[in-house]
Structure 1
Amino acid sequence: MADAKINTSNPDVPKTRKAFVPLENNPEVMSSLVHKLGLSPTLCFHDVFSIDDPELLAFVPRPATALLLVFPVSNSYETHRLKEDADKEVYEGKGTSEPVVWYKQTIRNACGLIGILHAVSNGSAKDFITPGSDLQKLIQDAYPLAPVERADLLYNSQALESAHHSAASQGQSNAPDAQDDIDLHYVCFVKDETNNLWEMDGRRKGPINRGQLDADDVLSEKALDLGVRLFLKREAEAGGGELRFSLISLAPSLD
């Protein structure tokens, strides 16, 4: 069962919990996972090679329904997380009381999986889920549950574990062991039905509203300014240099 009391000073999953082999930071691997679960192949993940060069951005299919920011957890990030979360209540949203579906991470080395689930469970991506699929059932069952019970659902899902295991074995690099300590972390940015941009992170107290957008997608200038660019600027200033990161979008397939 998931831990009922969330440790906000140390949000990492205890070593006694179930651990997954970390997913490779690879759009093809991520796409394979969600397609196996039941997302239509008309949507898939894509590398975003620049957030400032218009020519490189033009190669990314649009509209982008979600962004996955992948970065190494740093002291500055942990300091900011603690400061920003200090006065927040632990999130208890569920069903119609929540604007976005948020998942608390209780499986070790599964932050990539949690980020992917945030991407496909929210915004317009929900419209591309195959009826009757494992993914539809998982989200349907998760929707009315409070965060602790929802985390239990993910923890005990055989369909989710099977799809993750299959995807984790497809990477191009040698996969680390499930019990290894991994410093890379995934944060997802999604837009809700009322055009609010949300930062979704299974290590936080809950989802974070980053501001109101226009009708544009999550790769629009305003969305990048409120989300990814602000995140990277803060990290660069705190760390005294440029942050190493990757960015992946969920958007229409090229085929």
Structure 2
Amino acid sequence: MALQEEFEQQGVWLFKYRGTLPVLILLIGMGIYAYAALHPELFLIQDPEIKNYFLLFCVAISLFGQYIRAYTVGHTPKNTSGRNTGKQLADTLNTTGIYSTVRHPLYVGNFFMWLGPALLTENTWFIVAFVLFYWVYYERIMFAEEQFLRRKFGDVYTSWAEKTPAFIPSFKNFVKPKLSFSWKKVLKKEKNGFAAIFIIFCAFDVIAEFLKGTRDFNIYLIVAAAISIVLYLILKALKKSSLLKLKEDR
């Protein structure tokens, strides 16, 4: 099998599990963080005050990734840029808004969302391994997606792809989004990611404190995680209600 077909097959398979396989890396990171909590000398940052600021920085990195995803999803039409895992979907080709600056904005957002917890470990080797894993993992997925789009949209796709970078944004050719921003779409599609950010950071802190036996939990993370869970449950309950019903669903 030629590498082109092999990469595409790998990408299609990874696409189906792109929301679950990275969890394995997260669990490894959590284990590294817990081990370092038992051996504090392994942490790069020793000053408690600086450590608190660094935690905020890591959370901000993840929230920045969530913002990229929210901005992307909020400006896109139905059956594009979603969390579908069964198969590729693209009724139309997105080429305006954030898609005029980068071809895979959702994966850019994912990178920053996962980068936050990776940085929190303060383990240089793990952070480097995470970046390499993400590169190889999502490179295959992006390749498979682009093969699908190339076949479906032909020259329209290749013309757009030639002037739009794959992963590192370029704003010189920015085009205003065709569709207005939809908060309803964001609340329906991105509630999982927002809740996951605070739950993950809270889990890092709680597990480390339990292992140390200090029980000096970060109350702000616990409150933020609790609020995000409540919001998730509310939005989940309202998902099919008229309050969050989108025009294209009517």
TM-score clears 0.5: no
Structure with the bigger RCO (C-alpha within 8 Å, sep 6+) is: 1
Higher Rg of the two aligned structures: 2
Give 1 or 2: higher helix fraction. Answer: 2
